[in-house]
C-alpha cells in the first residue's frame, strides 16, 4: 500500500525534473463535513495531468479548469471552496462543507526539485519535517519535526505543514480486538500491518486492506518495521508475543506503544520486562498499559475504539487532562 501523498510528491518531482511547472495544492482546513482531511495533497502540471485528491471531484474539476484558463500565476494563493464572494468558490462540496486550499506554483528548477526530494524522504519515513510556507511570498522552509501535533497550523503570515510517513498501525498478534482495531484503523487512513506466526490462529482470517505477515512481530520490528509514525499495539494476552514485541518496540521511534491487560496484568508484565527484558524505567514509561482511554470498554469493538482514540490523542499532541 503506497501512501497517496508519496505518490503525489513523486509525480510532482517527475514532472518538475522533466521541465514542467507544477501546482501543488494542500487542504488547509475544513468547516463542516468534507471528504478529505487537512494536509491532503493534489498536484497538477501545465498540461492538465493531475494526481491526488482534495474533495470528491467537484473541487478538482474547478481547479483544473482554472489552471487551463491561466489562473494561479502568483507563487502562492489560498482558495476557499463552499462559500465566498467569488462565484467560482460557490462550488458545492458533496458533504456540504467548506474547505480552504493552499495553491503553490512550483517552477521547474533545482531548488524546487531539492525541496520535493526532501518531502519524499519524509514520506518514506526517513525523517519528519515541517514545511513552513510564507503566504505573502511563497517562500518555503523545512524544519525538523520532533513532536506530534496537527498536520496543519496557520496564522496570518504562514502555514506550517507536517510531513511524515503514512501513519502505520502495527498489530502484534491476532485477536478479536486486533480485528476490530484493524477495521477502525483502515477507515481512519492508517497503513495496517498484522504480524502473527501462529497459523492456527490466522486460519480463515480475512482483513481487507491489511498486510498480514506470518512472523513474530518482534522480528518484524527488529528488522526495521517501525518508524516515527508507527503505533505498535499488542492485543493477544500471550506474553510470548506481547512481551517480545514490547521489548523491541521501545528501542524504536514508534510514537505509540501499548499492550492490552488489566492493571494487575500490566504490573506483572512490567516486572517481567524489567527482570527478563532488562528494560529501564524510561523504556517502560513509553508503554501504555493498560492500553487505551478509560471508556469503560468491555467488548472487542469498544476496546478497539478506546485504543484508536488514545493513538489519535497522542498523534495530535493532546494531553489526557485536555480531553
Q: Mind listing the pLDDT tens digit for each residue in 199-225?
A: 999 999 999 999 999 999 999 999 999
Q: Looking at residues 187-191, what average pLDDT do you find? A: 86
Asked if residue 186 lies in contact with residue 63, where contact means CB atoms within 8 angstroms, the answer is no
**Residue 37 vs residue 285, higher pLDDT:** 285
Q: Residue 165's pLDDT band (boundaries 50, 70, 90)?
A: confident
Q: What is the DSSP string of 50-96?
A: EEE-SSSSHHHHHHHHHHHTT---SSEEEEEESSSSSGGGGPPPTTS
**Residue 315 vs residue 142, higher pLDDT:** 142
Q: Residue 4's pLDDT band (boundaries 50, 70, 90)?
A: confident
**Three-state DSSP class for residue 169:** strand
What's the predicted TM-score (pTM) here? 0.72
| pLDDT number for residue 147 | 81
Matching residue, cell 526530494: 117
pLDDT (tens digit, 9 = 90+) per residue, 46-63?
899 999 988 766 778 888
Q: Residue 93's pLDDT band (boundaries 50, 70, 90)?
A: low
Q: Looking at residues 279-295, what average pLDDT do you find? A: 95
224 Cβ contact list (under 8 Å, min separation 6): none
Cis peptide bond upstream of 188, omega within 30: no
pLDDT (tens digit, 9 = 90+) per residue, 259-278?
999 999 999 999 999 999 99
Q: Looking at residues 107-116, what average pLDDT do you find? A: 96
| pLDDT number for residue 35 | 58
Grid cell listed for 203: 486460519
| pLDDT number for residue 266 | 94
Asked if residue 51 lies in contact with residue 60, where contact means CB atoms within 8 angstroms, the answer is no
pLDDT at 85 over 70: no
**Residue 111 vs residue 4, higher pLDDT:** 111
User: Which range among 122-131, 138-147, 167-176, 300-309 shows the weakest confidence by mean pLDDT?
Assistant: 122-131
**Pairing, β 152-154 against β 158-163:** antiparallel
Q: Residue 320's pLDDT band (boundaries 50, 70, 90)?
A: confident
| pLDDT number for residue 160 | 96
pLDDT at 105 over 80: yes
35 Cβ contact list (under 8 Å, min separation 6): 53, 55, 56, 93, 94, 95
How high is the mean pLDDT of the chain?
A: 89
Q: What is the DSSP letter of 221?
A: I
Q: Residue 1's pLDDT band (boundaries 50, 70, 90)?
A: very low
152 phi and psi angles, rounded to 5 deg: -130, 130
Q: How many angstroms from the chain centroid is the CA of residue 124?
A: 12
Provide the sign of the torsion angle of the four alpha carbons 174, 176, 179, 180, taken in this order.
negative
**Three-state DSSP class for residue 305:** helix
Matching residue, cell 492490552: 260
pLDDT at 141 over 50: yes
Please give the domain boundaries of the chain with CATH numbers for all domains: 4-163 (no CATH), 168-322 (3.40.50.720)
**Three-state DSSP class for residue 164:** coil
Asked if residue 269 lies in contact with residue 290, where contact means CB atoms within 8 angstroms, the answer is no
Grid cell listed for 5: 501523498
6 Cβ contact list (under 8 Å, min separation 6): 120, 123, 124, 166
Helix intervals (H) in the chain: 4-17, 58-68, 110-123, 176-187, 199-202, 217-220, 239-249, 263-275, 281-284, 300-315
| pLDDT number for residue 98 | 78
| pLDDT number for residue 116 | 97
69 Cβ contact list (under 8 Å, min separation 6): none
Q: Looking at residues 17-44, what average pLDDT do you find? A: 85
Grid cell listed for 126: 526517513
What span, in angstroms and rounded, lies between the C-alpha atoms of 323 and 315? 14
Percent of the chain with pLDDT over 70: 92
Q: Looking at residues 307-314, what average pLDDT do you find? A: 95
Q: Looking at residues 21-32, what average pLDDT do you find? A: 87
Grid cell listed for 99: 474547505
| pLDDT number for residue 86 | 56
User: Which range among 22-36, 38-52, 114-128, 290-304 shows the weakest confidence by mean pLDDT?
Assistant: 22-36
Amino acid at each position: 500500500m503506497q501512501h497517496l501523498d508519496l505518490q503525489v510528491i513523486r509525480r510532482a518531482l517527475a514532472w518538475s525534473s522533466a521541465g514542467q511547472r507544477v501546482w501543488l495544492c494542500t487542504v488547509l482546513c475544513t468547516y463542516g463535513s468534507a471528504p478529505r482531511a487537512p494536509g491532503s495533497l493534489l498536484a497538477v502540471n501545465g498540461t492538465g495531468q493531475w494526481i491526488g485528491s482534495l474533495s470528491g471531484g467537484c473541487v478538482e474539476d474547478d481547479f483544473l479548469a482554472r489552471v487551463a484558463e491561466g489562473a494561479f500565476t502568483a507563487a502562492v494563493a489560498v482558495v476557499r471552496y463552499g462559500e465566498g464572494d467569488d462565484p467560482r468558490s460557490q462550488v458545492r462540496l458533496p458533504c456540504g462543507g467548506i474547505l480552504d486550499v493552499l495553491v503553490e506554483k512550483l517552477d521547474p528548477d533545482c531548488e524546487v526539485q531539492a525541496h520535493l526530494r526532501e518531502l519524499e524522504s519524509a514520506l518514506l519515513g526517513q525523517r519528519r519535517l515541517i514545511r513552513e510556507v510564507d503566504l505573502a511570498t511563497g517562500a518555503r522552509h523545512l524544519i525538523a519535526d520532533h513532536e506530534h501535533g496537527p498536520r496543519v497550523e496557520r496564522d496570518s503570515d504562514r502555514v506550517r505543514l507536517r510531513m511524515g510517513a503514512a501513519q502505520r498501525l502495527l498489530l502484534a498478534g491476532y485477536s478479536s480486538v486486533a480485528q476490530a482495531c484493524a477495521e477502525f484503523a483502515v477507515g481512519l487512513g492508517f497503513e495496517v500491518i498484522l504480524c502473527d506466526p501462529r497459523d492456527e490462529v490466522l486460519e480463515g482470517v480475512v482483513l481487507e486492506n491489511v498486510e498480514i505477515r506470518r512472523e513474530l512481530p518482534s522480528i518484524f520490528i527488529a528488522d526495521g518495521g517501525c518508524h516515527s509514525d508507527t503505533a505498535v499495539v499488542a492485543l493477544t494476552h500471550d506474553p510470548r508475543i506481547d512481551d517480545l514485541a514490547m521489548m523491541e518496540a521501545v528501542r524504536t521511534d514508534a510514537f505509540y506503544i501499548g499492550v492490552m491487560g488489566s492493571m494487575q496484568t500490566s504490573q506483572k508484565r512490567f516486572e517481567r520486562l524489567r527482570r527478563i527484558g532488562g528494560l529501564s524505567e524510561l523504556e517502560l514509561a513509553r508503554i501504555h498499559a493498560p492500553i487505551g482511554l478509560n471508556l469503560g470498554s468491555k467488548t472487542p469493538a469498544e476496546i478497539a475504539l478506546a485504543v484508536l482514540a488514545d493513538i489519535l490523542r497522542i498523534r495530535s499532541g493532546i494531553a489526557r487532562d485536555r480531553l
